[in-house]
Amino acid sequence: MNAKKYISWIVLILIATLIPPILNLPGSLQYLLDLSLIYAIVAIGLNLLMGYAGQISLGHGAFLAVGAYTSAYLTLTLHVPFFIALILSGLITGIVGILLGLPALKLEGNYLAIATLGFGVAVTQIFAIWTSFTGGFSGIKPLKPELFGFKFNSYLSYYYIILILTIVLVILTWNIIRTKVGRSLMAMRDSEIAAKAMGINVSYYKTLAFGLSAFYTGIAGSLYAHLLGFMTPYDYAFSIGMSLNFLAMIVIGGIGTISGSIIGAIIMTWLPQITSNLPIKSLSQIITGAIIIAVVIFYPNGIAYAGARLKDKFEKLFAKHQEKIVVKIEK
Amino acid sequence: MGKKFIKKLFVIAFALIFTLGIILTGCGNKNNEQPSTPASQKEQTKKELAQGVTDTTVKVGTTLALTGPVAVIGTPMLHGMQAYFNYINDQGGVNGRKIELIYKDDQFNPAVTVQKTQELVEQDKVFALVGTLGTPGLLASMDYIVQKGIPDVYQGSGSSKFAIPFKKNYFPVQPNYTTEGHVLAQYAVDNLNAKNIVIIYQNDEQGTEGLNAIKEQLEKLGKSDLLKAVVPFNTTDVDFSTPVLKAKEANGDVVILLGTAKPLAGIAVKAKEIGYKPQFLASYVVSDLTMFKLAKDAWNGAIVAGWAYPIYGKTENEPKVKLFLDTIKKYFPNETPSGYHVAGWIAAQTFVEGLKRAGDNLTWDGFIKAMETFKDWNDGLAYKLTYTETDHSPQRAMYFMKAIYKNENEYTYEIITDYIEPK
C-alpha cells in the first residue's frame, strides 16, 4: 500500500471519528450510523468469502443470529463481561461457520447457495424452539455494554466501539488478503484445479474461508444484539431477506473490495430510510430498486470502482491534452 | 453518447435524492426546533404544554408496516386512524386543536421500528404515539418509550407485555392473548360442552401465549383432563395434513385454532378434505371476512372470538357503527371496511377521548392522568375500557360469532353471545 492510500484511509478514519459529535446527530440518525457500520462488518466478512474465496452464502443472516444469541446468552445468563462475550460470539459463530463449510467442500455454485439457504431457514426455526437458549418468542433483552464502570448507554458512545472494531477488522482483512492465505483464496476462486495443481490445500482454505467469514458476522451479531436491546428469532435481520440484502451490499459496493463492502452497507442501510422520508408512499422502494439496478448496469464491478474509473477518464483526458500540446510544440 | 447522457442523469438523480433525503431527515429537525423557542416562552406565560402541542394543533405519530407482507394490515389500520382524525378535524378538532398524524413505514423490521420511533419522538417531536403496529418492533422500542415517558395509546399487538409489568405511559386497548386464551377455554367448556379439546397453535409469540393461557384457565376450571392434544405448526408451513390428522386421532370435538388467517384457513380446508368436522373455535386474530375468501365453505360453522364492536349484520345501523362505516366510505371510498380499519379507528378514538378529557392540561402527565379517568368507557368501538392509576390492562371482555357461508358472494359472521369476561 502506498503512502497516498495510507493518508486517504487515515483521513477517512478521522472523518468517521469526528463527524458524529461535530454534527451532533439526532438519536435516530446516530442509531442508523451504528447499524450501517455493523452491517459493514458483515459485508466485509461476506466479501472475504464471496469476493476473495469465491464461495457463495445465503445464510449470513443466520450467522448474525448465532452471534447475537451467543452474546446475549453469555452476558445475560452466564454474566460474562460484554467484551469477552463479543470475542466469544465471534469464535463460536466461526466454529459454526467451519461446520457449515464442510458440506461446502462437496458443493459448488447454485448447490452451495441452496445449502446455505437451508441453513439460514433451519437456524431461525431451531432458535424459535430452543427457548432455554434464545427465550423464544417472548424475546430477550441484551444489556448495554459496560467497561470499567462506564456504561455505553448512548448510540454515540456505542458507535466508537463499533468503529474501533470495524477498523481492527478492516486491518485484519487487509493482512489476510495480502498474505499466503489471501493469495490461496484468490487462486482457488479463479480456478480450483489450477490452485490444486499449485499445491494449495483447497479443502482447508474453503473451510477456513467459511470460518473467517462467520467470525466477522458473529462479531457483528453481538454488536447488533446489544444495539437493538431486544430480539426474537424471527427478527428481520436474521431472515433470508436480510441475507439477500447482505449479498446486495457487496454486489453494489464492489465484490472483492473492502471499501466496497463498507460503501455497500452504508448505501443499503441509509438509502431506504432516506427515501422513505420523501412524501409519496412506496416511492422509497421504487427509488431504492431503481438505484440498485442503475448501479449494477453502470458500475457492474460495484461503486468502489466508480472512483477509479473516473480517475482513469480524467487521466485519459489529460493525456490527450498533453498529446495535443506536444504535437503543437513539435509543429 | 446516449448511454453517457443517461449515466450523467443517473449520477445527478442519485446526488439529488441523497441531498434531498438528508435535508428532509437532518435539517427538518432544525426547522422544527426553531418555532418551538417562541412557543416555549409563551408556555411560561400561559400553561405549560408538552412537545408537539400548539394552540391549534396536536401532533401524534405512528409506526406501521406499509410495505412488505404485513402491509395488508398496516395500510387499512392507518386509514382507519386517518378517517377518524379527519372526521374530528372537520368538526374543528379537540378544544380548537386539530390533530396531525405523522406515520412512518417500518416494514415490520424491528431495527427500523426502533429508529423510526426515535425519529418521531426526537425529530418530529410528536405529543404521543398512537396505533403502532407489529409485536417484534413494539417490544424492541418499548424500553426507549418507557424511558422517555411519552404516552403510547393502542399497540397493534396481542402481547401482554405492554400491560404487565405495569407501565405508566402505556395504554393498551385490544385484549392480549392471555385474556383471550382464558375466554376461549371458558367458552369451550361452559357453552360448547367440549369433551375432547385439541389446540392447534402457530408456533410464535401469539400461539404460545394463547396456549399457556388456555391451559391455565382449564386448570382453574378443574377441566385439565379435557385437553387431549396440543399441536404446533410453523408460520412458514403450507401443508397442514399433520396437525389436522393429529387432531382427528385425538378425537377432538372442539378444535381451538390460534394463528393467522392463511394457515388457519389451510387447516379448515384440510379438515374438510378428509371429512373431519369438529367445532372450530378461533382466535380474534382471524375475525375478519378474509377467512371466507381463503377457506370458502370450509369455514362455515366455525366460531370466532371478537373484541371490537361488531360492524357486520344487526349492528350496522347503530349510530357508532354507522359513523364508522360512513366515514371510511367518505375518505377511502374504494376500500371495504375491515377489522383492521376498526383497529385504527379505535386507536384514534381512544386517543381523542383522552385528549378531550385532558382539556388544556396537555402535558404528558396531564394526558396520562386524563386517560386514567376511563371507567367502563363504551362510546367508541372498544368495549368498556378502564384504566386506573395502577392498572392499564386492556379490554378484557370478548364475544363470539359464528361463520355463515352461503356462496361466494354471501357470507357473514353472526353474533351468538354477549360480551363474556373471563372468570
A322 assigned to some structural domain = no
Supply the mean pLDDT for chain A. Answer: 87
Which residue out of A19, A24, A29 would a mutagenesis test of the B interface target, given it has the greatest number of B Cβ atoms within 10 Å?
A: A29
Asked whether the beta carbons of residue B208 and residue A137 sit closer than 8 angstroms, the reply is yes
Does B7 reside within a domain?
A: no
Q: Return the pLDDT at B281.
A: 95
Which residue in A232, A274, A284 is closest to B22 by CB distance? A274
pLDDT at B68: 78
**A188 located within any domain:** yes
**Measured in Å, how far apart are chain B's first and last C-alpha atoms?**
78
Alpha-carbon distance values, B98 to B32, B131, B375 (Å):
18, 18, 26
Residues of chain A with Cβ-Cβ distance to B28 below 8 Å are 277
Q: Name the minimum distance, in Å, from the CA of A212 to any CA of chain B.
A: 26
In a domain, B18, yes or no: no
B4: nearest CA in chain A?
A: A298
Is B20 in Cβ contact with A276 (below 8 Å)? no
What's the domain range around A130? 26-300
pLDDT (0 to 100) of residue B37:
41
Domain at B237, CATH number: 3.40.50.2300
Residue type present at position A64: L
Task: For B123, name the nearest residue in chain A, comparing CA atoms only.
Answer: A26
User: Is the residue at A317 inside a domain?
Assistant: no
Tell me the pLDDT tens digit for each residue of A263-315: 999 988 988 888 777 766 667 778 878 888 888 888 888 888 877 777 777 77
Residues sharing a CB contact under 8 Å with residue A32, sequence separation 6 or more, in sequence order: A269, A270, A273, B115
A16 in a domain, yes or no?
no
Q: Are residues B271 and B408 in the same domain?
A: yes
Most A CBs within 10 A among B205, B206, B260, hence the mutation to make, goes to B205
Tell me the percentage of chain A whose pLDDT exceeds 70: 93
Q: Looking at the structure, tell me whether residues B62 and B103 fall in a common domain.
A: yes
Q: Looking at the structure, do residues B201 and B302 belong to the same domain, yes or no?
A: yes
> Is B14 contained in some domain?
no
pLDDT at B32: 39
Those residues with Cβ within 8 angstroms of residue A98's Cβ, 6 or more apart along the chain or in another chain: A207, A208, A210, A211, A214
pLDDT < 70: residue spans in chain A: 1, 279-282, 318, 320-331
Same domain for B300 and B363?
no
Q: What is the pLDDT along chain B (423 residues), one digit of tens a residue?
A: 455 655 665 556 555 555 555 544 443 343 333 344 444 444 444 567 889 999 999 999 999 998 877 888 899 999 999 999 999 999 999 999 999 999 999 888 888 999 999 999 999 999 999 999 988 899 999 999 999 999 999 999 888 999 989 999 999 999 999 999 999 999 999 999 999 999 999 888 888 899 999 999 999 999 999 999 999 988 778 889 999 999 999 999 999 999 888 899 999 999 999 999 999 999 998 888 888 988 999 999 999 999 999 887 777 788 999 999 999 999 999 998 888 999 999 999 999 999 999 998 999 999 999 999 999 998 899 998 999 999 999 998 999 999 999 988 888 888 899 999 888
Is A200:A184 a contact under the CB 8 Å cutoff? yes
Q: What is the per-residue pLDDT for B3?
A: 59
Q: What is the arrangement of strands in the sheet containing B279-282, beginning at the earlier edge strand?
A: B227-233, B197-202, B254-258, B279-282, B303-306, B399-407, B410-415
Contact B171, B154 (CB under 8 A): yes
Give the nearest chain B residue to A155 (CA atoms): B115
Of B109, B208, B234, the CB nearest to A236: B109
Q: Which domain holds residue B102?
A: 48-175+314-392
Look at chain A and report how many structural domains it folds into.
1
pLDDT for residue B45: 43
Across the interface, whether the CB atoms of A26 and B123 are under 8 A apart is answered yes
Which chain B residue has the Cα nearest residue A225?
B111
Cell of B343: 383497529
B264 lies in the same domain as B410: yes
Q: Are residues B354 and B379 in the same domain?
A: yes
Residue B39 in domain: no
- Residues of B within an 8 Å Cβ radius of A: 7, 10, 14, 17-18, 20-22, 24-26, 28-29, 66-67, 104-105, 107-112, 114-116, 118-119, 122-123, 136, 139-140, 142-143, 161, 203-205, 208, 234-236
H/E segment holding residue B306: strand B303-306
Which helix (H) or strand (E) is B339 found in, with range?
Answer: helix B339-358
Are both B343 and B372 inside the same structural domain? Answer: yes
- Would you give the DSSP letter of residue B176? P
CA of B19 vs chain A CAs: smallest distance (Å): 9
Q: Is residue B108 part of a domain?
A: yes
Position B277 in a domain: yes
Residue A330's pLDDT is 62
Hey, is B422 helix, strand or coil? coil
C-alpha A175/C-alpha A178 separation (Å) is 5
Q: Taking CB atoms and an 8 Å limit, are B203 and A128 in contact across chains?
A: yes
Q: Which residues of A touch B161 (CB under 8 A)?
A: 138
| Structural domain total, chain B | 2
What is this model's ipTM? 0.74
Residue A247 within a domain: yes
Kindly identify which residue of chain B lies nearest to residue A25, measuring between CA atoms.
B26
| Span A249-266, pLDDT tens digits | 998 898 889 999 999 999
pLDDT (tens digit per residue) in B76-103:
999 999 999 999 999 999 999 999 999 9
Answer yes or no: do B127 and B162 share one domain: yes
Structural domain contains residue A70: yes
B273 with B333, same domain: the answer is no
Half-sphere exposure of B132 (CA within 13 A, CB side): 33
Summarize pLDDT for A111-136 with one digit per residue, the tens: 888 989 999 999 988 998 888 888 87
Q: Which residues contact B383 (CB under 8 A, 6 or more apart)?
A: B307, B308, B309, B395, B397, B419
In a domain, B29, yes or no: no
Is A97 a member of any domain?
yes
- B7 neighbors A298 (Cβ within 8 angstroms): yes
Query: What angle separates helix A240-253 from helix A109-129, to the nearest 10 degrees?
Result: 140
CA within 13 Å, CB half, B256: 36
CATH number, domain of A229, equals 1.10.3470
At residue B58, the pLDDT reads 95
Q: In this structure, what C-alpha cell is assigned to residue A78? A: 452466564
Residues B189 and B290 in one domain: yes
Beta strand B399-407 pairing with B303-306: antiparallel
**CA separation, residue A201 to residues A99, A146, A171, A256 (Å):** 18, 42, 25, 21
B30 close to A288: Cβ distance less than 8 angstroms:
no
Specify the pairing of strand B303-306 against strand A150-151.
Answer: unpaired
CB contact under 8 A, A26 and B122: yes
